[in-house]
Structure 1
Amino acid sequence: MDTALAFGVVWTKKIVAGRHIPSGVVFREVPGGTFRMGMSEAELAAVRAIERSGGAEDTLEPFFAGAGDAQPVREVRVEPFLIARHPLTVAQVRHWLPEYEDDYADADSGTARLEDDLDDLLKALPFRLPSEAEWEYAARAGATTLTFRGDEKPGEDQLLDDFGDERRTAAAENAFGLAAMGSAAEICADVWIPGFVGAPADARPRTGDGHRVVRGGAADLYPWQGCDEWLLLLAATRYEHAQFTAVRPVAPLPPRK
């Protein structure tokens, strides 16, 4: 089936609400633009301020030592695209993998975390993974702060791991209409390369052999154990895929009518 023909699309002045009818996945439009990608000195200063105020449970030196993996900060140009409102749920994954069983979700409306089934899902999806530039741009939603909510220490109240409650899901959206950015570990199209030296100035993924990049993951450690899990909610935090992961697919913009 032509992917475009499977969409029911509602256009508004600010946002596209597109539903992939067969699976029920809701997509949001992310407008094109440019942004400063990576962990800025201002963001590092904000983390140090949290640490000085007693907000860190442990030493943050490993975090600061690894900050170079998200530097140098550079300006990146992003073209408009559609991205899922939230990570695929267990029920949505079963549209493509009917026998899928999830070891982590408490309900079919919860985020699906894939391990052995990941490659099978990626082959079956009529969509692609976001590049990490697209992911960070979508997570920031125009903000330059630690999270789209500002430079304050994010808390467990920012986690969202189940999307059965529409009111709660809507309340968690950023300015692009996206919920739970940073809650689950979400895999990107890019191969893991420490740092951004030589990275493209557009949103193309970096390709090659090896594990992919993962963004987010603060809810994967729930209930929080006092090991500074909040750092995984930061828009610029990135690391190498090692085990289970969530998937938030990307689709091309449908034609406007």
Structure 2
Amino acid sequence: MLVEEIVAGRPAWRHTESGVVFREVPGGTFRMGLSDDELEAVRAIDRGGEVEDTIEPFLEGAGDAQPVREVRVEPFLIARHPLTVAQVRHWLPDYEDDYADGDTSAARLEDDLEELLEALPFRLPSEAEWEYAARAGTTTLTFRGDGKPGEELVLDDFGDEEATAAAENAFGLAAMGSATEICADVWIPGFAEAPADASPRKGDGPRAVRGGAADLYPWQGCDEWLLLLAATRYEQTEFSAIRPVAPIPTR
């Protein structure tokens, strides 16, 4: 059951059985993908001259998030943050996580992933829904602008309410880009012929993944911040976090 309440000063829906908090994302149309302006913003960022890697691999792979296109998204609910270890155990009581520091950390699922997806009464977001939610009405690299995102945006434990609230975007969603969040879409490089109605692309094979900056923390100066960008996408290779989506209940 989903019940309405106020969480961190914002309206929310809570799944009473598991404690998962959802935010309502309004519908709208947005430009999905890595734009030329965003690519120029990446090139313009002062990276400090101490990185061990370069942004060239990212720029060479920019086509995986292009062409930019207009997508219509209907209103939906999405979890305020990725499922925690404790929340996963509501559906999988024997779940163990080798990557989490505690029950309030974001869960990373490997062998248990499909079992959890079958048990959840919710679904995965499409890539379009995820990016629309991450951007929260902005057209910049992250919801905070075109500057280099810092480690203050990386949040992997949601036991501290003050820190969680500080990491929210305009839609009230925390830590978008921190964990490797799996989407419903099958991985296909680029957006050629992708649907314009925010539905996921179907098929066989690995799914598309968004985020992942926290999985490389503490950062070693190899441009890990690129994983926080709203448009960054790649192919699932190992563990994944889940930020479920649900329909808006009838009031």
TM tier relative to shorter chain: over 0.9
Q: CA RMSD in A?
A: 1.6
The yes-or-no answer on 1:120 pairing with 2:115 is yes
Which amino acid in 1 is paired with 2:192? V
The yes-or-no answer on 1:131 pairing with 2:131 is no
Q: How many residues align?
A: 250
Which position in structure 1 is the counterpart of 2:3? 8
- 3-state SS of the aligned residue for 2:123? coil
Which position in structure 1 is the counterpart of 2:193? 198
- 3-state SS of the aligned residue for 2:88? helix
Give, in whole Å, the separation in 2 of the partners of 1:150 and 1:58: 23
Answer yes or no: is the 8 Å Cα contact 1:169–1:179 preserved in 2: yes
Gaps of 5+ in 2: none
TM-score by length of 1: 0.94
The yes-or-no answer on 1:236 pairing with 2:231 is yes
What does the per-residue CA deviation read over 1:20-49, in whole Å, with 9 as the maximum and x for residues that have no partner? 000000000000000000000000000000
Answer yes or no: is the 8 Å Cα contact 1:39–1:73 preserved in 2: yes
Answer yes or no: is the 8 Å Cα contact 2:123–2:245 preserved in 1: yes
Which position in structure 2 is the counterpart of 1:36? 31
Gaps of 5+ in 1: 1-5
Which amino acid in 1 is paired with 2:203? G
Q: Which runs of 4+ in 1 moved over 6 A?
A: none
Answer yes or no: is the 8 Å Cα contact 1:55–1:153 preserved in 2: no
Answer yes or no: is the 8 Å Cα contact 1:15–1:29 preserved in 2: no
Which position in structure 1 is the counterpart of 2:150? 155
The Cα shift of 1:56 comes to 5.2
In structure 2, the CA distance between the partners of 1:180 and 1:11, relative to structure 1 (3 Å rule), is closer
TM-score by length of 2: 0.96
The Cα shift of 1:58 comes to 2.3
The yes-or-no answer on 1:98 pairing with 2:107 is no
Answer yes or no: is the 8 Å Cα contact 2:54–2:223 preserved in 1: no
In structure 2, the CA distance between the partners of 1:237 and 1:55, relative to structure 1 (3 Å rule), is farther
The yes-or-no answer on 1:75 pairing with 2:76 is no
Give, in whole Å, the separation in 2 of the partners of 1:225 and 1:53: 13
Larger deviation: 132-141 or 44-53? 44-53
